[in-house]
Chains A and B, each alone.
Chain A
């Protein structure tokens, strides 16, 4: 088969470019710890009262855990609990693990302006770990269509400095 020499060159350049694109993601993973959501665990969306989602909010992690705080968020038509009625409040300089699920339909959990962004799927628990360096209040919104009032599903995530963080507010 005849391939023009310019075309051979172009194929070579294309393959190198593709290799570089894949490499950026691998480097992101290994050097900068930029992870994506994986398969953690499934739950029965009709029996969430038997799980920690029955009493959602910020908890102190179990002793010996690799994180400092665990945040359980229930996303439902059309609110985050916590998040909508009162902000999710977490401290700076701590390892925080989020667990998010839904008892009804698909939702999105997006902390505006960050890479904290996950699908919320009934039956699955979305789990990710993060830390915040500076105090700031972020917007929180649902970015997956979840019904006629989808556009009102919003809230806030409040990061306060470690010294001002009141552990008495934690879910026990």
Chain B
């Protein structure tokens, strides 16, 4: 018996979410390869430089918003169902949020892909940050709004399951996987208020032509109210995997259940009031609020450092169960030959590197050196592009068999895949960071200028380009391996009663040692709202008071 046998309805909806996620991953990944080749000048004839920006929009939206949101929905359906031991309360409701998210995704995707059709008026080359006054087709904004509304309903679905479970279990602690799901979604509710207001109140009326000017700073600020917390919406499900599954894959048990809860509380409280750290270089926001955002950003290092401790301690425990010894020799006893473990562990290692460049980004007067350079995508291809994406891919090798009741096929290919991703990302990301130090901008089709040349701080500019192109090719090969293994296993895998060992043992220090206050959802939500109000009420009030659409810039269609 595995997940699909115990919870067939949940398995079906989780699979539907994974399917959309993997299709988005395939298209977004292909776009990434073409961009790497275009930017570096290795192949400038696949698309035009104007089309580059349409492709970049597709890459960002399909990977950062669609792949992540659908994968996370599938993962949380699995986690809530198994940890509460109950399927969703109402399947019609569950399928309705899935379809709303999917319809929104299709609308936005059509708007973006319209940019490849000559003469099309349906275009959305506004990148995934869609800063006005550059204007996309209304389909793009309405689609984005539907994706977010669907995700809110998904969260409501999991709360509904929790409340129904609570009625039957009045005195039990919230099971850890449900706890992590609920806290991730609470953070998501707090932060998506910003982008929902931006899109529904400002951008949709403006794109429909009901107003003919827009104040660029206000929507940009509302976007970044959401835009950093969204990275924790991607990251926390990876933490969910690292806390609740990785210890088991290492052969051991979670080190501390209470520490996992504390980490998720800190993320709920601190994720949103950090948004200005994406606006350090913006005129129109006072330095004091930028400083407040910086302090909260750096405090967010704490939960990640705590995670590092607990996850490594759990892995050490696992390795020692497998006969590992010594201070470091135990590392060799970890199951490096298992694709799910290897992928999660390599993702964790890259996250540490991404954390270091993140500290540079967070420090506001150092950030100015790298602001909007290719350093920044170098950073987030380590975090969302590896810590999150590689964890999602790796854990799919363990989840998809449970959801389909079929064994994993092509295990060798599955094992090579995370190592290849690690290698490709090492090449691409180090080169992007160094390119940023030389001042090479991000989001640029042709970073070659006629009036000056870049000077590399380490290495040479041509070697940097070479590493970006080779890295991009290796990442694409790795992605093809992943998709092939999943496709083959999903549809042609050998049916088995127990396709993987899906038993998750209890934590070494379980919830009985966690203070009750950690499960006080209301308290932590109120604290989160208070910190957001401190950060945002005054600046937003100032921007709104001179008129919602003023100082108004004229509309510029893309």
A-side interface residues toward B, CB under 8 Å?
1-4, 6-7, 10-11, 14-15, 17-18, 21-22, 24-25, 28-29, 34-40, 42-46, 77, 103-106, 108, 110, 112-113, 115, 117-127, 137-152, 154-156
Tell me whether A123 and B552 are in contact in the complex, defined as CB-CB below 8 angstroms, given that A37-B283, A143-B373, A144-B372 are known contacts.
yes
**For residue A13, which residue of chain B has the nearest CB?**
B305
In whole angstroms, what is the CA distance A116 to B365 when docked?
11
Q: Which residues on the A side are within 8 Å of B125 (C-beta)?
A: 148
- Inter-chain contact B284/A124, CB cutoff 8 Å: yes
B438 CB, min distance to chain A CBs, angstroms: 7
- Inter-chain contact A117/B551, CB cutoff 8 Å: no
- Inter-chain contact B258/A112, CB cutoff 8 Å: no
Q: Which residues on the A side are within 8 Å of B454 (C-beta)?
A: 112, 139
Taking the complex as formed, is B83 at the interface, i.e. its CB lies under 8 A from any CB of chain A?
no
Candidate in A17, A18, A149 with the most chain B CB atoms within 10 angstroms: A18
Taking the complex as formed, is B366 at the interface, i.e. its CB lies under 8 A from any CB of chain A?
yes
| Residue from the list B284, B369, B439 in contact with A139, Cβ < 8 A | B439
Taking the complex as formed, is B327 at the interface, i.e. its CB lies under 8 A from any CB of chain A?
no
Q: Which residues on the B side are within 8 Å of A24 (C-beta)?
A: 363, 366
Q: Which residues on the A side are within 8 Å of B302 (C-beta)?
A: 11, 14-15, 18
In whole angstroms, what is the CA distance A39 to B49 when docked?
35
In whole angstroms, what is the CA distance A112 to B553 when docked?
28
B369 CB, min distance to chain A CBs, angstroms: 5
In whole angstroms, what is the CA distance A126 to B513 when docked?
53
B356 CB, min distance to chain A CBs, angstroms: 11
- Inter-chain contact A35/B365, CB cutoff 8 Å: yes
- Inter-chain contact A124/B281, CB cutoff 8 Å: no
Contact mask B437-468 → A, CB, 8 Å, 1/0? 01101111111011111110000000000000
Q: Which residues on the A side are within 8 Å of B553 (C-beta)?
A: 45-46, 103-105, 122-123
| Residue from the list A18, A36, A105, A154 in contact with B451, Cβ < 8 A | A154
In whole angstroms, what is the CA distance A148 to B441 when docked?
15
Tell me whether A144 and B133 are in contact in the complex, defined as CB-CB below 8 angstroms, given that A18-B299, A46-B553, A139-B452 are known contacts.
no
Stretch at the interface among B215-223, B335-343, B346-354, B392-400: B215-223
Q: Which residues on the A side are within 8 Å of B205 (C-beta)?
A: none
| Residue from the list A37, A148, A151 in contact with B447, Cβ < 8 A | A151
| Residue from the list A22, A36, A144, A154 in contact with B452, Cβ < 8 A | A154
Q: Give residues 346-400 of B contacting A (CB, 8 Å).
A: 359, 362-369, 371-373
Taking the complex as formed, is B470 at the interface, i.e. its CB lies under 8 A from any CB of chain A?
no
Stretch at the interface among B65-73, B100-108, B286-294: B286-294
**For residue B447, which residue of chain A has the nearest CB?**
A151
Q: Which residues on the B side are within 8 Å of A25 (C-beta)?
A: 291, 294, 363-366
Q: Give residues 185-242 of B contacting A (CB, 8 Å).
A: 213, 215-217, 220
**For residue A77, which residue of chain B has the nearest CB?**
B556
**For residue A19, which residue of chain B has the nearest CB?**
B298
Q: Which residues on the B side are within 8 Å of A113 (C-beta)?
A: 438-439, 455
| Residue from the list B258, B287, B509 in contact with A36, Cβ < 8 A | B287
Taking the complex as formed, is B416 at the interface, i.e. its CB lies under 8 A from any CB of chain A?
no
The contact sample of 11 A-B pairs, CB cut-off 8 A, is: A2-B513, A7-B309, A14-B302, A14-B306, A15-B302, A21-B298, A37-B281, A112-B439, A139-B451, A139-B452, A145-B127
> What 3 A-B pairs come out closest when comparing CB atoms?
A139-B452, A123-B551, A122-B553
In whole angstroms, what is the CA distance A11 to B553 when docked?
48
**For residue A103, which residue of chain B has the nearest CB?**
B553
- Inter-chain contact A147/B556, CB cutoff 8 Å: yes
Contact mask B284-328 → A, CB, 8 Å, 1/0? 111100110011001101100110011001000000000000000
| Residue from the list A44, A106, A140 in contact with B216, Cβ < 8 A | A106
Q: Give residues 25-81 of B contacting A (CB, 8 Å).
A: 49-50, 53, 56
- Inter-chain contact A117/B301, CB cutoff 8 Å: no
- Inter-chain contact A10/B309, CB cutoff 8 Å: yes
In whole angstroms, what is the CA distance A43 to B283 when docked?
12
In whole angstroms, what is the CA distance A4 to B513 when docked?
12
In whole angstroms, what is the CA distance A144 to B127 when docked?
11
B-side interface residues toward A, CB under 8 Å?
49-50, 53, 56, 125, 127, 131, 133-134, 213, 215-217, 220, 255-256, 258-259, 279-287, 290-291, 294-295, 298-299, 301-302, 305-306, 309-310, 313, 359, 362-369, 371-373, 438-439, 441-447, 449-455, 509, 513-515, 546, 550-554, 556, 558
A148 CB, min distance to chain B CBs, angstroms: 4
| Residue from the list A14, A110, A119 in contact with B439, Cβ < 8 A | A110
Tell me whether A29 and B365 are in contact in the complex, defined as CB-CB below 8 angstroms, given that A117-B281, A144-B372 are known contacts.
yes
Q: Which residues on the B side are within 8 Å of A125 (C-beta)?
A: 283
In whole angstroms, what is the CA distance A137 to B449 when docked?
14
- Inter-chain contact A155/B372, CB cutoff 8 Å: no
Tell me whether A105 and B134 are in contact in the complex, defined as CB-CB below 8 angstroms, given that A39-B286, A124-B284 are known contacts.
yes
In whole angstroms, what is the CA distance A44 to B215 when docked?
10
**For residue B370, which residue of chain A has the nearest CB?**
A117
In whole angstroms, what is the CA distance A48 to B345 when docked?
55
- Inter-chain contact B372/A147, CB cutoff 8 Å: no
**For residue A83, which residue of chain B has the nearest CB?**
B451
B8 CB, min distance to chain A CBs, angstroms: 39
- Inter-chain contact A40/B283, CB cutoff 8 Å: yes
In whole angstroms, what is the CA distance A37 to B287 when docked?
7
- Inter-chain contact A124/B217, CB cutoff 8 Å: yes
Q: Which residues on the A side are within 8 Å of B449 (C-beta)?
A: 139, 141, 154
In whole angstroms, what is the CA distance A14 to B556 when docked?
47
Candidate in B442, B445, B551 with the most chain A CB atoms within 10 angstroms: B551
- Inter-chain contact A10/B305, CB cutoff 8 Å: yes
B362 CB, min distance to chain A CBs, angstroms: 7
Tell me whether A7 and B256 are in contact in the complex, defined as CB-CB below 8 angstroms, given that A1-B514, A145-B127 are known contacts.
yes
Instruction: Beyond A38-B285, A155-B451, list 5 extra A-B contacts (CB 8 Å).
Output: A10-B309, A24-B366, A36-B365, A105-B553, A106-B220
A72 CB, min distance to chain B CBs, angstroms: 14
A78 CB, min distance to chain B CBs, angstroms: 12
**For residue B300, which residue of chain A has the nearest CB?**
A18
| Residue from the list A18, A45, A124 in contact with B298, Cβ < 8 A | A18
Q: Which residues on the B side are within 8 Å of A106 (C-beta)?
A: 131, 134, 216, 220
| Residue from the list B216, B438, B450, B551 in contact with A154, Cβ < 8 A | B450
Q: Which residues on the A side are within 8 Å of B371 (C-beta)?
A: 108, 110, 117, 143
Q: Which residues on the A side are within 8 Å of B294 (C-beta)?
A: 22, 25
B217 CB, min distance to chain A CBs, angstroms: 5
- Inter-chain contact B442/A143, CB cutoff 8 Å: yes
Tell me whether A1 and B515 are in contact in the complex, defined as CB-CB below 8 angstroms, given that A28-B366, A121-B220 are known contacts.
yes
Q: Which residues on the B side are within 8 Å of A46 (C-beta)?
A: 213, 552-554
